[in-house]
């Protein structure tokens, strides 16, 4: 069993806070792909809870959509346990989205997932936003669901800031806008749209991480993906990409331990 790494980032949000207030702590996970860390994911839950998060964000791909037999229980069970301690927000990754757009093929699977998330009090953001005031901070959480063309093998098609504006509307003025979206490849568009902080997964850290080089390959089979892992800045905006927790198809992670990201908004 691989040891789960906790990677921390501090994000300044001073002008979006009222009074002093304590830092807002957000746990970010992605790409579980049905992986288990101990019985019922008890080890993963323990790692997250020991960070005392105010919120948990899941950036997609809790499951694996391969063939018609899809197990939703692992991911939903994990979020249920986490939702007992704090609010949980999530977006669809390409695996969940596949069951949504091919509803006839995956009969009832997506509806079962969404109803399961509602029952446990998890907020699934499907091109929606939620305003949250916590610790004196004024946050708006936007969940962007990328179209299928943004996940094509051997080269995804582009999505522009203007198209994102048509999907989500404008960011909230006077609030700190967080964009939760699965694929980090379109960071420039996210930044131009107006997200002060974008949170992603999807690239699995590049699967194999090489010293002084970074990730080797993306799920789209692109070598040395640009936004494979870590924190990036553009136009005064930030994006944090987690290497995620699991894998699928190519079950390979070298120098790339499973990860929980902790964000401290100060």
- Say how far apart CA 61 and CA 54 lie, in whole Å: 22
Residue bearing tokens 């194999």: 208
Read off the pLDDT of each residue in 212-217 and give the average, rounded to a whole number. 72
Instruction: Lay out the sheet containing 128-134: strands in order across.
Output: 128-134, 137-143, 176-180, 197-200, 237-241, 230-234
- Taking only the tens place, the pLDDT of each residue in 14-72 is 889 887 778 999 999 999 999 999 999 999 999 999 999 999 999 999 998 876 668 88
Sign of CA dihedral 4, 72, 142, 82: negative
Q: What is the DSSP string of 148-187?
A: GGGG-TTSPPP--HHHHHHHH-PPPTTSEEEEE-S-GGGH
**For position 256, what pLDDT does the model report?**
86
**For position 220, what pLDDT does the model report?**
66
Q: How far is CA 46 from CA 8, 81, 108, 168, 232, in A?
A: 17, 10, 32, 34, 28
Residue 80 has pLDDT above 80, yes or no: yes
Domain ranges of the chain: 5-265
- Say how far apart CA 11 and CA 14 lie, in whole Å: 9
- Say how far apart CA 57 and CA 122 lie, in whole Å: 10
| Strand 237-241 versus strand 197-200 pairing type | parallel
228 φ/ψ sector (left φ>0, alpha ψ -120 to 50, else beta): alpha
| Measured CA angle at 193 (ends 191, 194), to 5 deg | 65
- Span of 123-132, 148-157, 246-255 with lowest mean pLDDT: 246-255
User: How many Å separate Cα 73 from the centre of its chain?
Assistant: 19
3-state secondary structure of 138: strand
Answer yes or no: are the C-beta atoms of 107 and 75 closer than 8 Å: no
Residue 124 has pLDDT above 70, yes or no: yes
Supply 64's token pair: 């694996």
**What's the CATH number for 5-265?**
3.60.21.10
- Taking only the tens place, the pLDDT of each residue in 149-162 is 998 876 668 999 99
pTM of the model: 0.92
Q: What is the DSSP string of 37-98?
A: SSGGGHHHHHHHHTT--SEEEE-S--S---SS----HHHHHHHHHHHTTS-EEE---HHHHH
**For position 47, what pLDDT does the model report?**
97
**For position 1, what pLDDT does the model report?**
45
């Amino acid at each position: 069993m691989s040891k789960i790494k906790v990677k921390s980032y501090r994000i300044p949000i001073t002008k979006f806070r009222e009074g002093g207030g304590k830092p807002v702590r957000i746990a970010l996970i992605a790409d579980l792909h049905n992986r288990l860390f101990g019985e019922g994911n008890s080890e993963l839950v323990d790692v997250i809870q020991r960070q005392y998060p105010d919120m948990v964000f899941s950036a997609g791909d809790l499951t694996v959509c391969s063939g018609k037999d899809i197990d939703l229980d692992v991911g939903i069970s994990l979020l249920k346990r986490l939702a007992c301690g704090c609010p949980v927000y999530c977006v669809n990754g390409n695996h969940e989205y596949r069951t949504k757009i091919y509803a006839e093929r995956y009969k009832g699977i997506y509806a079962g997932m969404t109803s399961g998330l509602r029952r446990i009090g998890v907020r699934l953001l499907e091109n929606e936003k939620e305003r949250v005031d916590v610790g004196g901070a004024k946050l708006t959480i936007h969940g962007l669901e990328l179209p299928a063309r943004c996940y094509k093998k051997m080269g995804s098609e582009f999505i522009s800031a203007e198209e994102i504006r048509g999907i989500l509307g404008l960011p909230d003025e006077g609030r700190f806008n967080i964009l939760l979206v699965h694929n980090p490849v379109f960071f420039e568009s996210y930044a131009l749209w107006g997200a002060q902080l974008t949170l992603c997964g999807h690239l699995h850290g590049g699967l194999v991480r090489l010293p002084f080089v970074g990730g080797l390959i993306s799920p789209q089979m692109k070598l040395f993906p640009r936004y494979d892992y870590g924190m990036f800045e553009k136009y005064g905006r930030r994006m944090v990409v987690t290497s995620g927790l699991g894998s699928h198809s190519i079950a390979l992670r070298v120098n790339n331990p499973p990860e929980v990201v902790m964000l401290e908004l100060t």
